[in-house]
A and B are shown apart, each in its own frame.
Chain A
Amino acid sequence: MTYNRRAFLKTSAAFGATSALAPGLWTRAARADEKIDVGVLFSLTGGLSIVEQSLADATLMAIAEINEAGGVLGKMINPIVEDGASDTRTFNERATKLVVRDQVPTVFGCYTSASRKAVLPVFEQRNNMLFYPTYYEGFECSKNVVYTGAVPNQQLSNYIPWIINTLGKKKFFIVGSNYIYPREMAKVSKILIEQNGGEWVADEYLELGHSEWGAMVSRIRSSGCDVVLSNVVGDSVIAFYREFRNQGLSHETLPICATVTSEIEIAAMGPEAAAGSYTSFPYFQAIDTDANNSFIERYRRFVNNPEAVTQHAMECSYFQVYLWKQAVEQAGEATPDAIREGIKGQSFDAPNGRVTIDPENLHCYLTPRIARWGSDGQGEIIDEYPEPIRPLPYVAYGETEDDLFCTGAGLDSSRL
């Protein structure tokens, strides 16, 4: 049977009345049995499309691979791709369309925290599931989102002690773009710096997209710090590293230790400006394992670009589809409630290593790694946690592994 969208709309229209009246009760009868529809929601146009297109590609690649291997529960996965157009309102509209009209049981998507916050009410009110692949600032505990990217403790808890103990640097200059993610990262960093006997001399912010770094780098130079912790994101990163070099600062004596500078920015700034600096991420293109090399090769073939670069959020976009597949198979059906139960404790061998969904907060166990950038634009992995560590979205507020704020029962907001 050929099954296209028109036919699907007809079938779903027949059941539309019931499901519209009771949006929480997701009726399985509303769909044909051959395919499972899922939503894929990233910005394919607009300013954020550079990154988000690659996340959409990675998601679609995982779906194609699963379908080739026989699908889920004997059914093909049918991705319904929507464009968030780098605009939070569009994200909300498209998410509503996917959840209400297409009645998908899961949407894979969103890159920025702003877009996630914009779609969150849709998933919570309609009791649907969002799989979110980006490293983010934490401070969220939704039963309707599976977070597969790193939270601050997974980027910083090995990083700060390593900077202090291995690099021997004790005076931090913290610099970031002026919005929630860098500010939360700075908060966690300060806790860790103080715990490990270091100190921070400044905590500075510049607006997003800022490209004139003369004054800031000059302040860094005269601040007496011996390491720079950078939470700068996007295209400002390039201007920052270049100015750093132009003012004669060297990563040998005063390294930039970054949390978000990825392969993409390094390629654009010219690798010589970053050579010798560090970044902490659970995934790097440079991870030299068969699983990762094969992943890179398959991705390059999939997007038909032999030089395509892979990075952390993209890898999460890829493996979270596999985690979803395992959850559906374990639950035996593809409904949001079944997927939420099925995903708890689910493990998968991703390109970066073993990943596991925490049964309490639905975040992902990941292995923190530190890379030193070489003059060829690739990172060399010089430190790696022995095992994946537990995600703690509220670590900035005192959450620890033995004392979770966000559990299966929901957020204990009296602790904040």
Chain B
Amino acid sequence: MFETLFIGLSLTSVLLLIALGLSITYGAMGVINMAHGELVMIGAYTAVLSGIYLGFNIFAAIPLAFLTAALLGLLIERVVIRKLYGRIIDTLLATWGVAIILQQLIRLEFGMTFFGIRIQGLGPGLQQMRVPSYLMQPYEFAGIMIQPYRTFIILVTILLTVLTWFLMYRTSIGVQVRAIMRNPQMAAACGIDVRRVSAMTFAYGSGLAGIAGVLLAGFRTVMPEMGANVVVDGFLVVVVGGVGSLLGTVLSAGLLGQLNGIVSVVYNDIIARAVVFAVVIGIILWRPNGLFSFKSR
């Protein structure tokens, strides 16, 4: 029983990790960021490359991946998204283009393959990030087997969720972000620098994706296409939870994660996937704006 719940909890944490950044960029800014998965992928590659060239372990790679992905997010916001606020379908297309460019950058080793130069850790192949053995070896505690790596992911996710909550609801910048979410024109009229705050918010959401990438690299495969699967899960969670609601995102990640975990243990993973999608469709039909959504004016 505990094990089933633990699997569900672990799935929840992975979903939440991916959706947290997305709920901020999508919720706060109305940008359908198809490149979110690629930012996760960039985070994973940051971990792989910093491990090879700088000797960083996973703990050092986390802040580095946050910075890399955040800076990249800032760049994407400045170059592409800034011009497209309020045009939600256009952001979808534009960020999808960005996603393809990022994938190809990694696959073509930043274009170096054309000159016959190989960069270890890049390219179309599969990469790996080393995980310290004390995070891999499970141990028994009171008759229950503890998996340190999964536990580590859960802890980091809780930490990041609390941090995000604190930033959004207990700081002045958070108040500004929430004001922009409700009504950007009115926020601007009240003296909020909408452009600057939006850029910072997008960078923060991207940075969270980077951290998710590092943690995923520890137990999934690192490859240029890894982001594509991830982004679908992220959108599921955000849409079910309700756009722009942190609580909704947390609860919907919990709901979908546990549902997936329980059904996949009792039946199998393929049925679990189908059940999750059925529930998502049901929830969207029942509450088109998701479980938790504020009334927008």
| Chain A residues close to B by CB (< 8 Å) | 47, 49-50, 178, 204-207, 209-212, 214-216, 218-219, 235-236, 238-239, 242-243, 245-248, 264-265, 267-270, 272, 304-305
A265 pairs with B138, CB closer than 8 A: no
Checking A47, A214, A248, A272 against B138 with a beta-carbon cut-off of 8 angstroms, the contacting residue is A248
B219 pairs with A246, CB closer than 8 A: yes
B221 pairs with A49, CB closer than 8 A: no
Q: Is B130 an interface residue (CB 8 A)?
A: yes
Complex CA–CA separation, A248 to B145 (angstroms):
9
Convert B131-151 into 0s and 1s, putting 1 for each residue whose CB lies closer than 8 angstroms to a CB of A.
Answer: 001001110000001010110
Q: Is B268 an interface residue (CB 8 A)?
A: yes
Offer 14 A-B interface pairs, CB within 8 angstroms, sorted by A.
Answer: A50-B126, A178-B270, A207-B269, A212-B11, A215-B261, A215-B264, A216-B269, A218-B7, A219-B265, A238-B126, A239-B221, A245-B136, A246-B138, A269-B128
Min CB distance B144 to A, Å, is 12
Closest to A245 in B: B136
B219 pairs with A239, CB closer than 8 A: yes
Task: Tell me the total A-B contact number using a CB cutoff of 8 A.
Answer: 88
B270 pairs with A207, CB closer than 8 A: yes
Q: Collect the chain B residues with CB atoms within 8 Å of residue A238's CB.
A: 126, 128, 220-221
Q: Collect the chain B residues with CB atoms within 8 Å of residue A204's CB.
A: 268
A211 pairs with B125, CB closer than 8 A: no
Checking B3, B127, B150, B229 against A211 with a beta-carbon cut-off of 8 angstroms, the contacting residue is B229
Convert B243-270 into 0s and 1s, putting 1 for each residue whose CB lies closer than 8 angstroms to a CB of A.
Answer: 0000000000000000001001100111
Counting chain A CB atoms within 10 Å of each CB, which of B11, B124, B147, B219 scores highest? B219
Checking A215, A264, A267 against B272 with a beta-carbon cut-off of 8 angstroms, the contacting residue is A215
Please give 13 more A-B residue pairs, beta carbons under 8 A apart, in addition to A235-B223, A242-B218: A50-B126, A205-B270, A206-B269, A211-B229, A214-B10, A214-B11, A215-B261, A216-B268, A238-B126, A238-B221, A247-B145, A248-B145, A268-B221
| Chain B residues close to A by CB (< 8 Å) | 3-4, 7, 10-11, 14, 116, 118, 124-128, 130, 133, 136-138, 145, 147, 149-150, 218-221, 223, 225, 229, 261, 264-265, 268-270, 272-273
Closest to B133 in A: A272
Complex CA–CA separation, A245 to B118 (angstroms):
31
B3 pairs with A218, CB closer than 8 A: yes
Those 6 A-B pairs whose CB atoms lie nearest each other, nearest first: A268-B126, A215-B264, A248-B138, A235-B221, A211-B220, A238-B221
A247 pairs with B147, CB closer than 8 A: yes
Closest to A305 in B: B118
Min CB distance A173 to B, Å, is 13
Q: Collect the chain B residues with CB atoms within 8 Å of residue A248's CB.
A: 137-138, 145, 147
